[in-house]
Amino acid sequence: MRLTTGNDRGVDYARQTPLFGSMAASAALAAGLLLVFVLDQSTGAAPLQHLYYLPIIFAAVRFGFRGGTVAPLAAVGLYHVANPRLLGFEHEHWDVVQVALFVAVGLITARLIEDSRRLHALATTDDLTGLHNLRSFEARLAGLVRTCRHVGVPLTVLVLDVDRLKCLNDAHGHLAGAEAVRTVGRIIASHAPPDAVACRYGGDEFVIALPRCTDAGGRVFADSLRHAVYTTAPVLAGLPFPVRTLSISVGVACHTFGSNGKRRGDAEEGEHLFRDADGALYQAKELGRNHVCVARNAQLSQHDH
């Protein structure tokens, strides 16, 4: 599942790179270093030696601190091989400066890139659950509408909230209520398919977008999610609670975006789909707690009491 992470400590962004993309980037990095090495060896000109900075910066951007460390060391080695006098430790002051700059540029670039990515994650992540926040979800939803419209596949949206959270807050305190919301968020993250996008958009309200999912598939997923929450024995504010302490109500709406009729914009289509799912959620709440309803064809889900 494409979720942002609420943990900003020690994120290894290089591990998030697909294997094929990583191999291609590694090949491009090696080719860049070798090309600069050949130019350096044939000319020994300082302006061409500065070209080592390009693959160093590329490595730091692509692979983080790992690339920002390995590429400068490789550049230092190639710089010495291309200039044999350096192998005898006959360094001039500009050689020392050049080597120091190779390392500094790699490490500083890696640090700046990591900080930028961390800030982006913080700006698009809900602190309590680690899911997308509303601003990030709205952008993702518009993108999913655009993609599903182009491919001609359905898009399903689930809107859900935690049942009777106020009663839990009143009985056990708001910390227990916050833990309940976090627990539901974790269950959503662990159960959603890889291409889904999930968001906490309010106190105990969540929305999930499922591309290439029919209304029947959305209802099956919603009911499995409802069951997972209902059968969880949560630990809230340090206290263990029995199963059936938590439950959710879910509204489901699905749409396939055709070319007939009035065409809405991507953001407007996403908002319309959200409103349908939200309306179905209200139907589920009217039936009681622990229910799933589907827009335009509300059905009472099977559940345990």
Residues constituting the chain: 305
Q: Find where tokens 């809230």 sit.
A: 236
Instruction: Return all residues near 187 (Cβ < 8 A) that are at least 6 apart.
Output: 225, 228, 229, 232
> Is-above-0.75 flag for pTM?
no
Q: Sign of the CA dihedral 55, 61, 63, 68? A: positive
Quote the pLDDT of residue 18: 53
Pairwise CA distance, residues 93 & 102, whole Å: 14
Pairwise CA distance, residues 267 & 290, whole Å: 30
Pairwise CA distance, residues 144 & 157, whole Å: 11
Can you name the CATH fold of 134-294? Alpha-Beta Plaits (3.30.70)
Tokens of 111: 């640090």
Pairwise CA distance, residues 119 & 221, whole Å: 32
Could you report the per-residue pLDDT of 224-273, keeping only the tens digit for each?
A: 999 999 999 999 999 999 999 999 999 999 999 875 545 778 999 999 99
Tokens of 49: 């030696």
Could you report the per-residue pLDDT of 187-227, keeping only the tens digit for each?
A: 999 999 999 999 999 899 999 999 999 999 999 999 999 99
Check pLDDT > 90 for residue 179: yes
Quote the pLDDT of residue 94: 87
Quote the pLDDT of residue 262: 57
Mean pLDDT, residues 161-178 taken together = 96
Buried-state track 165-202, b at ≥16 Cβ within 10 A, e below 16 = beebbeebeeebbbbbbbbbbebbbebbeeebbbbbbe
Tokens of 243: 């199963």
DSSP 305: -
Could you report the per-residue pLDDT of 57-74, keeping only the tens digit for each?
A: 999 999 999 999 999 999
Closest residue by Cα to residue 135 from 120, 150, 149:
120
Q: Which helix (H) or strand (E) holds 217?
A: helix 215-230
Closest residue by Cα to residue 290 from 279, 301, 276:
301
* Amino acid, single-letter form, for residue 45: A
Tell me what the pLDDT averaged over the chain comes to: 88
| Cα–Cα distance list, 168 to 27, 179, 182, 200 (Å) | 56, 11, 14, 19
Could you tell me the residue ranges of all domains in the chain? 13-124, 134-294
Pairwise CA distance, residues 281 & 180, whole Å: 19
